Structures are given as C-alpha cells and as structure tokens.
Structure 1
Amino acid sequence: MDRNIRTVEDVLQLLDGLFAPEADRWTADAASWWDGFYADRSKPVPFFVAKPDENLVSYLERGLLTPGRALDLGCGPGRNALHLAAAGFAVDAVDLSPAAITWAEDRAREAGADVRFLRGDAFALADTELNGPYDLIYDSGCFHHLPPHRRISYLALLDRALAPGGHFALTCFAAGGMGSELGDTDFYRQSRLHGGLAYTSESLRRIFSELSEVELRRMHDEPTESPRFGEPFLWTALWRGKGLP
C-alpha cells in the first residue's frame, strides 16, 4: 500500500506516471525515447536544420533583445543556442536527451561557439547548476510537449530563473496548425499527448498572464533557402518579466 504523497511535487510525479515516456520531455524515463528520436541526424525533421528561428533573429535585429545571460530550454541540436552565443549572449542550453546534447556540442565545436550545455531535467536542476538569473529564457518547441500539470513546474522555473525585467520567448504548436486540440482532461483519460498540445493565443495569454506581452504572432513561413527557420504552424511569443532590468 502506497501512501507517499506529501508535497505538490509528489502529485506532479504521480501524474507524470500516467503518461507514456515520450509524453513528458523532462522525466528521466523519457530520455531514451528522445535519444532514439535524435539518433538519425539525417531524418527530415523540420527543426533539425542548422538555422535559428526567424522570430529570434527578428527580436535581435529590432533591438527587442540585447545580449546578456540566456537559457535555452529543450535546446535539441542547439541551433538557437549557437545563434544567441554568436549575438553575444552567455548561453546555458539544457536538454533531457544525451543524443541531442552531443549533437549540439558537435555543432558548437564546428562553429567555434562558446555554449554551456547541460543534460538533465530543467525543472530539477538546482539553482547552483544554472548561471542565472537569466535576461532571456528561450523555448523553441519544448513547452507543447509538457503534460498540462507540468505547466506548474514551468511557471515556477520562470519565476525563479528569469531576471527582473528579463524576457521569455516561446515557440509552440498553434491550434489549427499542428498539435492536439483535446481538452486538458482528455489527455489524462487517454494517457497520451498525441504528439504535443496545440495552444490558442488566448490560452497562452492566460497561462503567462503574470508577464507583459511584447509580441504574439504566428511564425513566418521561411523558404527552404532561407537562413532562418520558420514554420507557420507555430506561435511565436515574447514576454517581459516584472521589475527593473
């Protein structure tokens, strides 16, 4: 007989266990699934390209972001982390998958980029393992792979790791473009996330209502020959935290 639930984290871990390993990018059980996903670097996966997100490039070109400390959540092969480093940021980049981190480190060596890569669960990393607080927290494609209950952990991470007045930037599946549009409760009934959750602009504004919106739009569709990554089935959003920088 198990009667071990005492804290909020105990409840979150119990809910993690209701899903298949691939459902939660941050749990230890999911690492092997993501390693398999990243094993074949030649797969025609859109974000395997060595290009930064078009919205990130735009933020920098328009002066909406200036160099400082940056954290890349779910960095994958490191394409945005490398661009931030080239723009003058001191970058920490974290991913659960050792295969993803190895690929990102290979790219960084080839580019001569100075990025600090961390393999692990970003929610569980101690503050001493991170070089925060961060002037920018960037997430390209991680948030929409989280089960609904892990939004609590995500918001807690932003709260403790984002510097006063810092920026949080996100790209995620857009309803009507890609991702499952089931209600939150249905994911628990089915024990699956169906490849990721789609979000509406209204739901994103509600979830991140403690932050000040700078811009929220669909990602621009970039042609194959473009030096930027862009797919219109994604939202791009930029928020600013409370307090003075």
Structure 2
Amino acid sequence: MDRNMRTVEDVLRLLDGFFEPAAGRWDRFYADRDRPVPFFVDKPDESLVSYLDRGLVAPGGRALDLGCGPGRNALYLASRGFEVDAVDLSPQAVAWGEERARAAGAAGVRFRCGDAFALATGPYDLIHDSGCFHHLPPHRRISYLDLLDRVLAPGGHLALTCFAAGAMGSELPDADFYREGLLHGGLAYTPESLRRIFAGLTEVELRRMRDEPAGSPHFGEPFLWTALFRR
C-alpha cells in the first residue's frame, strides 16, 4: 500500500495489519473436518428457523450468508425459498459447503470465496451472520455497517449470532486488541453494545440462543446472542 494514505479504506487496511490475515487462519480452522467443533454440524441456527417459523422474516427473496462456513445456514435458507449468496474467506469452507450442496441436491445457493465487503452486491432481503461479526477487529465494524447501508434492502432484516459477554469471547476494550495484536478468539458483546452499534436499525428481537440438545435438528449454544434487526 502507498505510504500516503488518502481514504478511510487506506486507514482500515493499515489497521488490518495489526492482526494475522483472516483467510489463512480460517483455512486452517476448516482443514480438519473431523474436529468436534459445534459449528461444523450440518444444522441451521435455531434462531434462524424460529424467525421464519414465526413469520418475523418472510421466506423467499434474496439472502446473503456472511462467513457462511460449510453452508449449514445457507442450505437451510435455500430450502425455504431464498436465493442465497454464501460468502466466506476460506477456500476450505467454501469447498465443503459446495460438497454439502451437491450431496443434498440443493439449488439456490451460490458459494463465493473472498471478502464479503467487496463481493456482496445486493439488494438483499435478509443478511444472515452466524459468527462472522464477532471475529472482526473493531475497526471493521465500519465496513460492516457500510455493507448494511449498501446492500440491505429497505424493510430487510439482519439476523445476527455472536458471542455473549460473560459467556464466550474477549471483553477487552477495543484499544487493547491493537496493543496486543490479537483478537483472542473473538470479541464478546453485551446487549447494550449491540444496540449501540446497530442503532440505525430497528430491533425486532435480541436474546440468548437456546441450548439445543445433541439430537435436535437445529444448532443452539447459550454462549451466543441471537438478534434480529430490521432496516
């Protein structure tokens, strides 16, 4: 990058350099599919299922699955009539998701590998994020909110799942992440901090994710917040 910064994006890229590049980190994470990681299960979030079953989110339309991983939520959204763009930085995750889609005979999902901030085109009726937001360094909240402004349709929804303070993730002040050059496995949020960050949207629901038993067809862990916002 040119040493003479001229734009906000120049500053954001400079701050990215405080941390390990995310693509390589997530490719290593998804390389071993046999690890007992809860997020590897082929089940949709219980919250996402609940939003659709209760009519809080209408089925169909266009959806963006941010940080889609192996596609468990993207495939569910396609089964409910959505046309889905499923985006992840990790080639390993995207390849796994494509394999799952082929095995299920699923149509309606387009997997894409890369930076969702650059790839997402919109407009989307639903942006779904199960675990992407809490792995972003603090300065990239700017990019996240800009993405919502650009591609979330009027009346559209953001469905968010992220680490809950007091249960999972790091609760350090933002500045400390830059001093240490580490994200400590992800950032934890309080309901108040989420409401402040997403103050430009209307809150529909914010609660702890339900703890789903092993035999449940849905994914649920109580160390997570699940939130639904409407534009």
TM-score > 0.5 by shorter chain: yes
1:168 aligns with 2:162: no
In structure 1, what is the Cα distance between the partners aligned to 2:54 and 2:96? 30
1:147 aligns with 2:137: yes
In structure 2, what is the Cα distance between the partners aligned to 1:113 and 1:137? 20
Q: Which amino acid aligns with 2:42?
A: A
Within 5 Å, which residues of 2 pair with 1:91-240?
A: 91-114=84-107, 115-125=109-119, 130=121, 132-240=122-230
State the Cα deviation string for residues 110-146 of structure 1 (Å, max 9, x = none). Answer: 1111211111001122x6xx3x200000000000000
Deviation at 1:54, TM superposition (A): 0.2
- Equivalent position SS for 2:117: coil
Q: Which amino acid aligns with 1:70?
A: A
Partner residue in 1 for 2:54:
62
Deviation at 1:33, TM superposition (A): 2.1
State the Cα deviation string for residues 41-97 of structure 1 (Å, max 9, x = none). Answer: 111011100000000000011011112100000000000000000000011100000
Deviation at 1:19, TM superposition (A): 1.3
Identity %: 78
In structure 2, what is the Cα distance between the partners aligned to 1:181 and 1:206? 16
Q: Which amino acid aligns with 1:157?
A: L
Partner residue in 1 for 2:35:
43
TM-score when normalising by structure 1: 0.91
After the TM superposition, which parts of structure 1 deviate over 6 Å for at least 4 consecutive aligned residues?
none
Partner residue in 1 for 2:71:
78
In structure 1, what is the Cα distance between the partners aligned to 2:118 and 2:77? 24
Partner residue in 2 for 1:24:
none
TM-score when normalising by structure 2: 0.97
In structure 2, what is the Cα distance between the partners aligned to 1:150 and 1:100? 22
RMSD: 0.9
In structure 1, what is the Cα distance between the partners aligned to 2:205 and 2:106? 29
In structure 1, what is the Cα distance between the partners aligned to 2:24 and 2:3? 29
Deviation at 1:204, TM superposition (A): 0.1
Deviation at 1:3, TM superposition (A): 3.3
